[in-house]
Amino acid sequence: MLTEDQTAAVAFLLNAATHRDANKVEMIETHISRVFLAGERAFKMKRAVKLPYADFSTADLRLAVCKLEVERNSMTAPGLYLGTRRLTRAPNDQLEFDGPGELVDAVVEMRRFDQSALLDRMALAGELTPKLMTDVARTIIRFHRGAPVSHSGTGTANLGHVLDINRAGFATSSVFTNVEIEAFDGLFRNALARHGSLLDSRERLGKIRRCHGDLHLRNICRFEGEPRLFDCIEFNDQIATVDVLYDLAFLLMDLWYRGLPEFANLVVNRYLDEADDEDGFILLPMLMAIRAAVRSHVAATLAEEGGDNKVKLVAEAKSYFELARLLLVDCPPRLVALGGMSGSGKTTVAEAVAAHIGAPPGARIVESDRVRKSLHGVPAETRLPARAYLPEVSERVYAEMAWRAGLILSQGGSVVADAVFDRPSDRQRIERSATERHLPFVGFWLEADPDLLWQRVSERKGGPSDATIDVLSRQLRRNGASVSWVKLDAARAPARIVADILAFSPHQPG
């Protein structure tokens, strides 16, 4: 229900004459805001509401939260947020921008961008790319590194608060029965108890920070050629102050829900490649499930309001509910190793298969090229000098790979290890990472004609590999004929190789 002042504010913003370069104005409504699209600008106005999690009931409160929205979002969306505009009453009782009269309302002024640049629209159009999603992951990790740390409570209590909100939210709707809600909540409470010590440890290490809070595809856009995170939760610090991986989990869940598991897996792997957060990998299925449950209870609550969208909202609530339950299903860990000469396509196959191994968002990829670069403290695309490939350095790289794989496996996560693995000692070491923990292991050796390998290596551009023709020649002289791993024809399309890997039953140690 619009107040008299907000009715006047809406009319003022909808009037094309209010804006210098607008022939017409479009309005988009959300549950807490109205966005007015006018020429090259967008104006966002908060609804005059008072909710359990947000109070926009007065013009002064709305002005304050608009200023906070500009301040917070300008860090992750530079150039997109232009400032706050005051809607004031002129002497003739009409409204104007930033006049000396009484404050009637306030808006956030933004540069307008094509809605097709929203990542949810790009996902629907099939326009997301590995490069774009890699850039998104790196944007998020940079933001998280600078986000303010909070020590206001334990990691368990932080997530327990979210579970309480979910349970209360489901209770306001009739979409699910009390029996369903109680069983659903019980699954989450059990998962929280199982991971409580890790969550509490992460809080002590500073992993709970004031994050974005609403990091799904619709709140990420491509602006001036770069990904921008916008529309963060600025009106409630408690909602936005969460474990950084819970912040990331919203994006992962959204990608998974939309049937894009490969992109979810890519994002988490690129994020963890640069974040000191390997121990948190095992938390992601639960964190994604909580995000799905939030979406479910919000849709169920909105469905109670009736209207033309009720059937759609009920279906949406049920689909997120089911996804959350599936994400909480226990999935035994396993290790898959991919070896082969440079140019055999190991990394391509690893990135294609990882999303389908282990619990969502799939397996952690432990890749020798990226491990080597991280040990040298440089980005994956940086070319290293020859001394970085001396035998003693490679020994350290393979030892680090085995350690990382063992850490993730011991916590219950799955791993895909990607390296040349042409030395028997390296193959034995990575295999022991699984067998010493009595977990399934299978190694695959990708082989192809040397002429094909030479062609691929000579044509390779970008990526973390520094392999050259000379490097490949030395590998071929060592020969992989004695490799006992399952041999696969690397000349085939990656999809066929992936199908063979997924169809293979791994060895289970006794």
Which whole number is the average pLDDT over 247-267?
A: 98
CATH 3.40.470.10 at 119-327, yes or no: no
Which whole number is the average pLDDT over 450-479?
A: 72
| 510: confidence class by pLDDT, cuts 50, 70, 90 | very low
Tokens at residue 170, please? 């489901």
> What pTM value is reported for the model?
0.92
| pLDDT over 80 at 301, yes or no | yes
Q: What percent of the chain has a predicted confidence (pLDDT) above 70?
A: 95
- CA dist 82 and 108 (Å) reads 8
Q: Which CATH architecture has domain 335-503?
A: 3-Layer(aba) Sandwich (3.40)
Residue type, 95: L
- CA dist 12 and 33 (Å) reads 16
- Backbone φ and ψ of 438, nearest 5°: 60, 45
Q: What is the 3-state secondary structure (H, E, C) of 64-85?
A: HHHHHHHHHHHHHCCCCEEEEE
Nearest CA-CA partner of 246 in 333, 156, 309 = 156
Higher pLDDT, 332 or 457: 332
pLDDT at 460: 74
| Chain segment 480-509, per-residue pLDDT in tens | 558 889 999 999 999 999 999 999 866 555
| Chain segment 396-439, per-residue pLDDT in tens | 999 999 999 999 999 999 999 999 999 999 999 999 999 999 99
Residue with tokens 């009595």: 438
pLDDT at 509: 54
Looking at the chain, the domain(s) classified CATH 3.90.1200.10 span 119-327
| 267: confidence class by pLDDT, cuts 50, 70, 90 | very high
pLDDT at 390: 84
Residue pair 351/432 in contact by the 8 Å Cβ criterion: no
| H helices, E strands: number in the chain | 19, 17
| 457: confidence class by pLDDT, cuts 50, 70, 90 | confident
| pLDDT over 90 at 287, yes or no | yes
Q: Which long-range contacts (CB under 8 A, 24 or more apart) does 374-380 make?
A: 374/273, 375/400, 380/273, 380/463, 380/464
Tokens at residue 383, please? 């070319």
| Chain segment 142-163, per-residue pLDDT in tens | 999 999 999 999 999 999 999 9
| 386: confidence class by pLDDT, cuts 50, 70, 90 | confident
Looking at the chain, the domain(s) classified CATH 3.40.50.300 span 335-503
Cis ω on the peptide bond leading into residue 361 (within 30° of 0)?
Answer: yes
Which whole number is the average pLDDT over 32-47?
A: 93
pLDDT at 323: 98
- Residue 139, classed as helix, strand or coil, is helix
pLDDT at 450: 82
Which whole number is the average pLDDT over 193-220?
A: 97
Which whole number is the average pLDDT over 306-314?
A: 87
Helix (H), strand (E) at residue 293 = helix 284-303
| 458: confidence class by pLDDT, cuts 50, 70, 90 | confident
Q: What percent of the chain has a predicted confidence (pLDDT) above 90?
A: 75
| Chain segment 332-382, per-residue pLDDT in tens | 999 999 999 888 889 999 999 999 999 999 999 999 989 998 888 888 788
